[in-house]
Amino acid sequence: MTSSESGSGAAERPVAWPARLAWAALGAFLLFWAVFEAVKHGGWTIPMAVLGVLVPDLSFLLGAGSGPREPGRMPARMVGVYNLLHRPLIPVVALVALSFAPTANTTIAAPFTFALAWLGHICVDRVLGYGLRTPDGRPR
């Protein structure tokens, strides 16, 4: 059984529901963990959690004012940054590195929370059918 998004600019290819369910479970876990860390540590962890959710989509600002284009396709100049910010490897590496950092927990709480929220954002995008883009801006 598969499902696909249509008309919303989401990826055109069908994604199996077990994969979406796995992304949803991981995304919910990560976002709840980010909120937990923000509440636990306070201070800079709160804005870093919010930024972690928002920063991946700031790549859309690169396409501002690029003129009309077909629905669901982003301008080519923003694809590289968008794809870079929507790959799970970067926040995963950050989380692992911060987990093994030889500093106090309070020192790494804000960047750790940022990486949790960033990875949670990527998971939610996958659940909604938004994935990486081809060089010409079309969904993969």
| 86 in a structural domain | yes
| 111 in a structural domain | yes
| 7 in a structural domain | no
**41-96 pLDDT tens trace:** 999 999 999 999 999 998 888 777 766 677 778 888 888 999 999 999 999 999 99
**Count of the separate structural domains present in the chain:** 1
Confidence (pLDDT) at 1: 44
- How far are the Cα atoms of 31, 39, 118, 125 from residue 103, in angstroms, in the given order? 24, 20, 22, 32
| 20 in a structural domain | no
What's the one-letter identity of residue 10?
Answer: A
3-class SS of residue 82 = helix
| 106 in a structural domain | yes
Return d(Cα 37, Cα 30) in angstroms, integer: 10
Range of the domain at 114: 27-64+72-140
Average pLDDT over residues 100-106: 85
| 31 in a structural domain | yes
Q: Out of 3-12, 58-67, 69-78, 107-116, which region has the weakest mean confidence (pLDDT)?
A: 3-12
